[in-house]
């Protein structure tokens, strides 16, 4: 199942370890504190436990959002990049 993982971690050292753990599990870095990718229930739980160990007593929040294929097909995006003329917005509904 696809999984969206977002986090808010204060300490750089902890945040870097969280970042690396996401990469180790094959998740794609999609925003500053957000990753997305395929994780089955067992792998998601393994990663959650790893995150808990990394976070320890440090201040922070980590959210896992499993997303089924049906709901993923309903996802939309608005992208405005420097490659587009100023003011032009690309809208997709893939």
- Binding-site entries for Mg(2+): 8
- Using alpha carbons, list the distances in angstroms from residue 94 to 51, 71, 82: 31, 12, 21
Binding-site annotation, residues:
8
Classify residue 6 by its DSSP letter.
E
What is the C-alpha radius of gyration for the chain, rounded to an integer number of angstroms?
15
Which stretches of the chain are assigned E, i.e. beta strand? 2-9, 28-31, 34-38, 60-67, 77-79, 90-92
d(CA 74, CA 33): 23
């Amino acid at each position: 199942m696809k999984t969206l993982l977002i986090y808010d971690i204060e300490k750089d050292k902890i945040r870097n370890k969280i970042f690396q753990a996401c990469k180790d599990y094959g998740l794609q870095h999609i925003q500053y504190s957000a990753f997305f990718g395929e994780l089955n229930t067992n792998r998601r739980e393994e990663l959650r436990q790893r995150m808990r160990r990394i976070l320890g007593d440090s201040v922070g929040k980590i959210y896992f959002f499993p997303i089924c294929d049906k709901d993923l097909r309903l996802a939309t995006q608005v992208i405005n990049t420097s490659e587009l003329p100023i003011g032009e917005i690309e809208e997709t509904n893939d």
